[in-house]
Each structure stands twice: as C-alpha cells, then as structure tokens.
Chains A and B, each alone.
Chain A
Amino acid sequence: MFPLNLQTAFIVEEVSKIIKESVEAAIGGNAYQHSRVNQWSTSVVEQCLSQLSKLGKPFKYIVTCIIMQKNGAGLQTASTCFWDNSTDGSCAVRWENKSMYCIVSVFGLAI
C-alpha cells in the first residue's frame, strides 16, 4: 500500500540515515570502554530522537540501542509489533568497529 502523502509517511531511508549519523557522532572512532558505554548509548538514542522529532511528522517514536563488546559471545535479538501496517514502520541499523557492535532500532507509530 503506498503512502498517500510523503510528509506523513514513515520513510525507512530517511530514518536509516538519521540513525547512522547519530551513531557515528556519538561513538565513531572510539574503542569499547565500560565506564563510558552508559553515556554513549544514552547519547545515541537522544540524538536519534531529537533528529526524528525535527522531521515534524505525526508519529510517536521508540528508539532502542544495544552496544556490545566484541568478545566472541553470541547475541540474538528479535522484535514483533502489533500495529497498523499501512501507517507504522520500523528501521534497524547494525554498526560495528574493531571493539564493539551497536544495534539501533527505531519504531514509528502514526498518531
């Protein structure tokens, strides 16, 4: 089903770009540090959220961020949603560097 109005639709490419920029700005070029990871994940979600709300679209947003140290452990995540398929959407971005993984998901629910 095509969105009738691009200004009120959840556009995955746009959101994906916002997420990538927020992650790069918050942790790009850093190595995993236990003492700082708390403020990094907070900073990633807050940056994403403030850029998303600046889009001015009629959506409620949920942003989640997982940062994991690279040490060989297995990590599996799944999510499922009960919403309106024609108006709501989600976007997940996986980012990594030499010492850590960062997974950010954004869910947008139309008002």
Chain B
Amino acid sequence: MEEYNSGDEVIFNSDEANTIVKECIEGVIGGTDYDQSKVNQWTANIVEHSLTHLVKQGRPFKYIVNCAIMQKTGAGLHTANSCYWDTATDGSCTVRWENRTMYCVVSVFAVAVAL
C-alpha cells in the first residue's frame, strides 16, 4: 500500500495542476491542426498523461480529468460544472488552450481521500 505524504499538502494545489496540464496538452497537440482521425487518441493521451503526472505527486486525492477538443468553425460552445464536496480540501482547475484550428478545454477535479 503506497504511503501518502501525511500531515502536509492535503489541500489541492491548483497552480501546480495547471502547469502539469498545460505541459501535457502542448506535448500531445502543440503544433498540430485539427484532424478528425486523430482527435480520439489525442483526448485519450491528454487525460492519461495528465492523470499519471498528478498521481505521481503522491498526494491523498482521487482525481477526475476531463478533456474536450473542438474544431474551430464558429460554433458556440459552453461548459459548466458544479461540485458537491468538502470545500476546505477539494478543488478543481480548468485549462483552456487553443491554436488556429481547434480549442482544447481540460478540467481536473481532485477529491481528498479520508485517511
């Protein structure tokens, strides 16, 4: 059973998560144009890489990572989320990224685990 870092850092650090997610997005789709045949594997790669890096931090959290990639054609897109949790320890962070041909929105939700 993995040992968590107990005592310190039981609050979700949203800036760190922001940095991790930005790097993952750049790594997967930075410099590419929207490609319908590849978008499936891009979203899967982005969520998997982000999750792996977050879990590596070894903090006592459960994570949910969500990614949406949309082609730029002028359509309107709106996203919203609402959470029922412990506001003292849980948190989320959303990263919006775009290039010439597509938008990418990634949300990370972290819920503290009772030890």
Interface residues of A in 46-83 (CB under 8 A from B): 46, 48-49, 52-53, 60-83
Point out which of B47, B68, B107 has the most chain A C-beta atoms below 10 A from its C-beta: B68
Tell me which of A40, A49, A60, A84 contacts B86 (CB under 8 A): A60
> Hey, which chain A residues are within 8 Å of B69, CB to CB?
75-77
Point out which of B34, B73, B76, B86 has the most chain A C-beta atoms below 10 A from its C-beta: B76
Q: Check: A95 CB closer than 8 A to any chain B CB.
A: no
> Hey, which chain B residues are within 8 Å of A61, CB to CB?
83-85
Whether the Cβ atoms of B84 and A78 lie closer than 8 Å is: no
Could you say which interface size class chain A belongs to? 35 or more
Nearest chain B residue, comparing its CB with the CB of A37: B78
Give min CB distance, B38 to chain A, whole Å.
10
Interface CB pairs A-B, < 8 A, 22: A37-B78, A44-B80, A45-B80, A49-B82, A62-B64, A62-B92, A63-B81, A64-B79, A66-B78, A68-B70, A71-B74, A74-B39, A75-B77, A76-B69, A78-B46, A79-B65, A80-B47, A82-B51, A82-B64, A83-B63, A84-B62, A107-B109
Instruction: Give the interface of B toward A (CB within 8 A).
Output: 34, 36, 39-40, 42-44, 46-48, 51, 54-55, 62-86, 90, 92, 107, 109, 111, 114
